[in-house]
């Protein structure tokens, strides 16, 4: 297909937009929505970033319909912003240049499950909980758990990971292939279902984490895991964050195939105590989960117990009973909601960085000192097996000065992580919020390479413009 | 840096080549070699593809020297072909347009080992055995084992994997970051040492498997694993290839974290019997390795034994003693050399495909029938946990008709794999040998995307031209 190439440096002209919306409405009828409420729901709603609504929202039902939408938008130079569950944290779904939000709500099917091959094919709008409910009876699950009930398309696009990543990897490790609509409306499959391939450039991994800026995902082939025969959960208090981190390092180095190893700092434990009316000792703690056979999860838990003792941890509790596991993990499950208990009326500014695990204790400790200095209430939780942690700043969003201080804090956190050979974001992605840090992280030549790839795949800059890398 | 952009559609003009070699010699003295013997050693020597030597070989000692080489070659439009151990199988190191082979023999150092972070930084010329010898005393190892003592730069470039991949993944999963010299001589680091990141496009994975066509790797940051506390090996005969494959599927589905699961077909067992003077029953067999604690490897082996029995396998032997493991695995270790015992004076044409594991038995069985029909002697070994297998055709390379029949066989094997939703190569790469299959595998639009990326990163087409994707 040939499309008119017209660089979009700002919002589309009113005439172009109007023509595109007219064609979309002719094609999709009442599946094109332009009400203000719906438009605002389809832009950023959960961070300090302003809400920048699209001009319209379209609800496609097939790859072919997505192609049709892209062709109409490409013809008129109108931006396209893919939308899953709206749980992204860096303004990924904002429409700074207006345009059309493509909501995958109706493309939420499991197209195939290949149990023998441990893979499945899904549409991008399905959420991870819905997928796992579908898989449960087959004894299978999709292991990536970013916390939110995110859509699989969004999870792939932000290269999401979460609590299980220490054992099962991130989205980059669990997407086998993608069906993608390109900026000119053509469709590609990035790979086949073979578990590995050396057949050319790895377009799958290029699209995973591209945040919808290089193409629009309309199908995903995902790796699955067997539901473990046994799961044990463990919880252990420690005298300090350093002790937690050192116990984690030792656990990973010992080759204990821990499935989850999560840090909660003392303030986060306090929040959970208030929220869930518990009386956990308000010290840093690790929460763990082990997957395997009955014998193997028992052995893993016991071995971790020995390591914990070595680093002054205790008391150490573990169990394989489902209801007891839930109780032990209650603190982690409620972590995000519990934060609100610490400051009434405040909103959460959530940010994440990731450092080599050897620098994790130092990075968390310095961050806690920074929090203390700035006076924020800001609990920390971490996927510490990967060196990844989150800070939840409780911010009065009506106080501009405070919002500015929160943004400055996030900037210092990124600088700290970069100085320790870490990254500005372990799993949240770049979106709008972290674009300004990419140059510090990667240097100008890498940004030129990224911009070159963006221009090659999206010469009009209509695919989620204003995210990841600036091209004009 | 700005370089004169001059498209290279064929070999560089004699004058340009001579100027480049003059500048290289002025800069590198006797580290520029043009003798015919050395040039021929630096092109393909181990497959049916013709030997296409470069015009010169240069031996750099640092990233800066690689930059200097690239700048000189770019100025004169002279191709650059990176060279590691020369063990690639699809003509990756051939110089169809002449040019300069960059041999990383002298860039073979371990630059850093971060034991706490389970990573290391190495130069591309180091081989996997040398790296593992260096790491052994630290209790660490780099798990990817493609068989040959390949260089790490080459392994990354071909997205190598091998026997351990079923547990530890492929090179794409075990490279954290790369230092890469671009086609204009600029240098980038694709990522930092953090175990995961969502900070922009995944240039690491784009360069892994790019076969030196998008940039030249001069440093690799690799994930390491702890040497397991215990290793058990197992061997089991089966009545058929199907039974081997079904036992493998069941093993993977059961979540047994097998570290290696290798198929040898009856002919391969026969070859080993001749070569190593053994008297193994000449039936299909599986060889396995389990990594973990003493208790866990025992449990894994026992569970596999139960599965093997279910599929008619036996006798089943397993052991944790190192010398017994070596004995059990002798058949696998000698597989490649043993093939030569089947036909005196013949050479091996080695090829690989990978299919979803549910189709593996069917694909291997059809391939055996094809072998029987064509009359080739061609043992099969497979990394069956990944659905990946190799055929070693024993070919009289002086018989042109036979070579043609071998090539035709490889083509049919690819078509068979593609028809089963597989890939034309699981781990060997594309090089020259499999370029013609990429369109059938990916379709023309994907090839356009790949060519677009190639043109963006290498507008002169000087980086290993004539490999993976045609751009002129």
What's the pLDDT band for B9 if we cut at 50, 70, 90? low
Q: What is the mean pLDDT of chain A?
A: 95
Q: Are B438 and A200 a contacting pair at CB < 8 A?
A: yes
Q: Which CATH number fits domain A107-226: 3.30.420.40, 3.30.70.600, 3.30.465.10, 1.20.1250.20?
A: 3.30.465.10
**CA distance to partner chain A, nearest, from residue B33 (Å):** 31
CA-based nearest residue to A12, from A104, A101, A74, A90: A74
Residue in A198, A202, A356 nearest the CB of B426: A198
CA angle, corner A135, sides to A132 and A137, nearest 5? 125
Can you tell me the mean pLDDT for B455-468?
98
Alpha-carbon distances of A138 from A115, A134, A135, B333, rounded to whole Å: 8, 8, 5, 38
Q: Are strands B216-223 and A175-181 parallel, antiparallel or unpaired?
A: unpaired
Can you tell me the mean pLDDT for B151-171?
97
Burial of B350 (0-12, 13-18, 19+ CB in 10 A): buried
Q: Are A209 and B195 a contacting pair at CB < 8 A?
A: no
What CATH architecture is B230-336? 2-Layer Sandwich (3.30)
CB-based contact, B196 to chain A, within 8 Å: yes
What is the percent of chain B with per-residue pLDDT over 90, rounded to a whole number?
90
Can you tell me the mean pLDDT for B160-179?
97
CB-based contact, B9 to chain A, within 8 Å: no
Q: Are B199 and A425 a contacting pair at CB < 8 A?
A: yes
C-alpha B319/C-alpha B298 separation (Å) is 9
- Per the DSSP assignment, residues forming a β-bridge with A391 are A351, A380
B4 pLDDT exceeds 70? Answer: no
Residue in B205, B357, B445 nearest the CB of A117: B357
Burial of B167 (0-12, 13-18, 19+ CB in 10 A): middle
Q: Are B199 and A299 a contacting pair at CB < 8 A?
A: no
Alpha-carbon distances of A285 from A261, A382, B248, B259, rounded to whole Å: 10, 11, 40, 33
Burial A246-273 (b: 16+ CB within 10 A, else e): bbbbbbbbbbbbbbbbbbbbbbbbbbbb
Output the pLDDT for position B362. Answer: 95
Q: Where in chain A is the domain with CATH 3.30.465.10?
A: 107-226
Give the CATH class of B341-430.
alpha beta
**CA distance to partner chain B, nearest, from residue A15 (Å):** 32
- Per the DSSP assignment, residues forming a β-bridge with A316 are A236
In sequence order, what DSSP letters do the residues of A87-125 get, joined into one string? --SSSTT--TT--EEEEGGG---EEEEETTTTEEEE-TT
Output the pLDDT for position B304. Answer: 96
Summarize pLDDT for A119-143 with one digit per residue, the tens.
999 999 999 999 999 999 999 999 9
Burial of A421 (0-12, 13-18, 19+ CB in 10 A): middle
Q: What is the mean pLDDT of chain B?
A: 95
**pTM, whole model, 2 decimals?**
0.96
The structure tokens 């116990």 sit at A247
Q: Does domain B108-226 have CATH number 3.40.50.720?
A: no
In this structure, are residues B394 and B291 in contact, taking their beta carbons and an 8 Å threshold? no
Output the pLDDT for position A7. Answer: 39
Q: Are B386 and A434 a contacting pair at CB < 8 A?
A: no
In sequence order, what DSSP letters do the residues of B203-257 get, joined into one string? HHHHHTTSTTSS-EEEEEEEE-EEPPSEEEEEEEE-SSHHHHHHHHHHHHHTT--
What's the pLDDT band for A196 if we cut at 50, 70, 90? very high
Summarize pLDDT for A221-268 with one digit per residue, the tens.
999 999 999 999 999 999 999 999 999 999 998 889 999 999 999 999
State which residue of chain A sits closest to B227, comparing Cα positions: A255
Output the pLDDT for position B8. Answer: 43
Output the pLDDT for position A112. Answer: 98
In this structure, are residues B173 and B420 in contact, taking their beta carbons and an 8 Å threshold? no
C-alpha B109/C-alpha A61 separation (Å) is 54
Output the pLDDT for position A408. Answer: 97
The 3-state DSSP class for residue A439 equals: helix
Mutate to test the interface with A, among B118, B195, B205, B441 (most CBs of A within 10 A): B195
The 3-state DSSP class for residue A294 equals: helix
Output the pLDDT for position A329. Answer: 87
Summarize pLDDT for B283-297 with one digit per residue, the tens.
999 999 999 999 999
CA-based nearest residue to B158, from B96, B208, B223: B208
In this structure, are residues B284 and B361 in contact, taking their beta carbons and an 8 Å threshold? no
In this structure, are residues B75 and B20 in contact, taking their beta carbons and an 8 Å threshold? yes
**CA distance to partner chain B, nearest, from residue A254 (Å):** 7
Burial of B335 (0-12, 13-18, 19+ CB in 10 A): buried
In sequence order, what DSSP letters do the residues of B366-414 get, joined into one string? HHHHHHHHHT----EEEEGGGTEEEEEEEE-TT-HHHHHHHHHHHHHHH
- Which uninterrupted H or E stretch holds A70? helix A63-76
C-alpha B426/C-alpha B277 separation (Å) is 32
Residues 252-291 of A with CB under 8 A from B: 252-255, 257, 291
Radius of gyration of chain B (CA): 23
Mutate to test the interface with A, among B91, B194, B423, B438 (most CBs of A within 10 A): B194
Residues 378-407 of B with CB under 8 A from A: 386-388
Contacts 24+ apart (CB under 8 A), B177-180: B177/B204, B177/B220, B177/B221, B178/B203, B178/B204, B178/B207, B178/B208, B178/B217, B178/B219, B178/B220, B178/B221, B179/B63, B179/B217, B179/B218, B179/B219, B179/B220, B180/B207, B180/B215, B180/B216, B180/B217, B180/B218
Top-confidence residue, B327 or B90:
B90
C-alpha B385/C-alpha B378 separation (Å) is 21
Summarize pLDDT for B212-252 with one digit per residue, the tens.
999 999 999 999 999 999 999 999 999 999 999 999 999 99
Q: Are strands B260-264 and B380-383 parallel, antiparallel or unpaired?
A: antiparallel
B1 pLDDT exceeds 80? Answer: no
What is the percent of chain A with per-residue pLDDT over 90, rounded to a whole number?
90
**CA distance to partner chain A, nearest, from residue B49 (Å):** 18
Residue in A417, A428, A450 nearest the CB of B200: A450
Residue in A356, A421, A438 nearest the CB of B200: A438
- Which uninterrupted H or E stretch holds B75? helix B63-76
Q: Where in chain A is the domain with CATH 3.40.462.10?
A: 230-430
C-alpha B23/C-alpha A60 separation (Å) is 59
| DSSP-assigned letter for residue B30 | G
| DSSP-assigned letter for residue A61 | -
Summarize pLDDT for B425-436 with one digit per residue, the tens.
999 999 999 999
What's the pLDDT band for A331 if we cut at 50, 70, 90? confident
Summarize pLDDT for A407-453 with one digit per residue, the tens.
999 999 999 999 999 999 999 999 999 999 999 999 999 999 999 99
| DSSP-assigned letter for residue A211 | T
Q: Where in chain B is the domain with CATH 3.30.465.10?
A: 108-226
Q: Are B208 and A202 a contacting pair at CB < 8 A?
A: yes
User: Sign of the C-alpha dihedral, residues A192, A194, A195, A196?
Assistant: negative
C-alpha A259/C-alpha A221 separation (Å) is 23
Mutate to test the interface with B, among A198, A258, A295, A458 (most CBs of B within 10 A): A198
CB-based contact, A229 to chain B, within 8 Å: yes
Summarize pLDDT for A45-103 with one digit per residue, the tens.
888 899 999 999 999 999 999 999 999 999 999 999 999 999 999 999 999 999 999 99
Residue B320 — left, alpha, or beta (φ > 0 → left; ψ -120 to 50 → alpha)? alpha
H helical segments located in A254-349: 266-276, 294-310, 322-328, 330-333, 335-339
A6 pLDDT exceeds 90? Answer: no
A44 pLDDT exceeds 90? Answer: yes
Q: Where in chain B is the domain with CATH 3.30.70.2740?
A: 341-430
- Fold assignment, A230-430: Vanillyl-alcohol Oxidase; Chain A, domain 3 (3.40.462)
């Amino acid at each position: 297909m040939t499309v008119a190439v017209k660089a979009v440096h700002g919002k589309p002209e009113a005439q172009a937009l109007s023509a595109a919306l007219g064609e979309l409405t002719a094609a999709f009828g009442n599946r094109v929505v332009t009400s203000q409420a719906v438009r605002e729901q389809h832009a950023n709603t959960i961070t300090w970033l302003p809400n920048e609504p699209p001009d319209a929202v379209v609800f496609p039902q097939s790859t072919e319909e997505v192609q049709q939408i892209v062709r109409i938008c490409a013809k008129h130079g109108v931006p396209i912003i893919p939308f899953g569950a709206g749980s992204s944290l860096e303004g990924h779904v904002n429409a700074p240049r207006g345009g059309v939000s493509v909501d995958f709500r109706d493309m939420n099917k499991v197209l195939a499950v290949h149990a023998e091959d441990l893979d499945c094919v899904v549409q991008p709008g399905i959420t991870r909980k819905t997928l796992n409910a579908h898989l449960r009876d087959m004894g299978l699950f999709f292991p990536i758990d970013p916390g939110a009930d995110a859509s699989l398309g969004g999870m792939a696009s932000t290269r999401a990971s979460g609590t299980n990543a220490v054992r099962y990897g991130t989205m980059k490790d669990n997407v086998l292939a993608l069906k993608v609509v390109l900026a000119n409306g053509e469709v590609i499959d990035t790979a086949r279902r073979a578990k590995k391939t050396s057949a050319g450039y790895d377009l799958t991994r290029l699209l995973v984490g591209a945040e919808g800026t290089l193409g629009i995902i309309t199908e995903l082939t995902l790796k699955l895991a067997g539901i473990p025969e046994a799961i044990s959960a463990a919880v252990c208090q420690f005298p300090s964050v350093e002790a937690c981190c050192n116990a984690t390092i030792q656990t990973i180095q010992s080759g204990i195939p821990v499935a989850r190893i999560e840090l909660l700092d003392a303030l986060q434990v306090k929040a959970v105590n208030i929220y869930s009316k518990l009386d956990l000792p308000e010290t840093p703690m690790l929460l763990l989960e082990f997957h395997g056979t009955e014998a193997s999860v028992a052995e893993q838990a016991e071995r971790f117990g020995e390591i914990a003792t070595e680093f002054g941890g205790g008391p150490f509790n573990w169990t394989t009973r489902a209801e007891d596991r839930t109780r032990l993990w209650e603190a982690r499950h409620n972590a995000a909601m519990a934060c609100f208990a610490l400051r009434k009326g405040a909103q959460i500014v959530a940010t994440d960085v990731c450092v080599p695990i050897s620098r994790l204790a130092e990075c968390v400790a310095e961050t806690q000192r920074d929090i203390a200095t700035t006076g924020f209430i800001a609990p920390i939780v971490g996927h510490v097996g990967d060196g990844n942690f989150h800070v939840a700043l409780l911010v009065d969003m009506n106080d501009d000065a405070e919002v500015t201080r929160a943004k400055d804090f996030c900037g210092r956190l990124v600088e700290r992580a970069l100085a320790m050979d870490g990254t500005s974001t372990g799993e949240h992605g770049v979106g709008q919020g972290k674009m300004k840090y990419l140059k510090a992280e990667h240097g100008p030549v890498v940004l030129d390479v990224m911009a070159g790839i963006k221009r090659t795949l999206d010469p009009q800059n209509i695919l989620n413009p204003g995210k990841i890398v600036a091209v004009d």
